[in-house]
Amino acid sequence: MASAALDVSDGLLGDLGHILRASACGARIDTARAAPLLATQGVALGDNERLSLVLAGGDDYELLFTAPASHAEAVVAAGLASSTPVTRIGRIEAAPGLRLVDAQGQPVPGRYASFDHFA
């Protein structure tokens, strides 16, 4: 079902960037759907700090994959069958570049860099 996949170890946006460059496409990410997913639960953080860690933090221990919208039900079924939570956090778009939006579809300001293991 997946057309591309990788582990998120350099931050969500940094690793998504690898898929986008290799596929010569862009993406729209709903930050409200992405923010609760990664390993920041139970940590006392402000909303902006949590979002920064989710988008650009490292060592997330999550998988990121793309699949055609026509396979949405099969993706959900596979997640249920394997007891693996799966959440759609965005969509791939033909126009190059990465667009971050909030729950209302409005652009999210700010710049986020990929995690640097050697900094």
Percentage of the chain lying above the pLDDT 70 cut: 80
52 band by pLDDT with thresholds 50, 70 and 90: confident
For the chain, list the domains and their CATH numbers. Answer: 4-101 (3.90.650.10)
67-117: pLDDT as tens digits: 999 999 999 999 999 999 999 999 999 999 999 998 899 998 877 665 555
Collapsing DSSP to helix, strand or coil, 22 comes out as helix
Report whether pLDDT(63) > 60.
yes
Helix (H) or strand (E) run with residue 74 in it: helix 72-81
Say which residue, 109 or 59, is predicted with more confidence.
109
CA–CA dist 77, 99 (Å, integer)? 28
CA–CA dist 108, 81 (Å, integer)? 34
Report whether pLDDT(32) > 90.
no
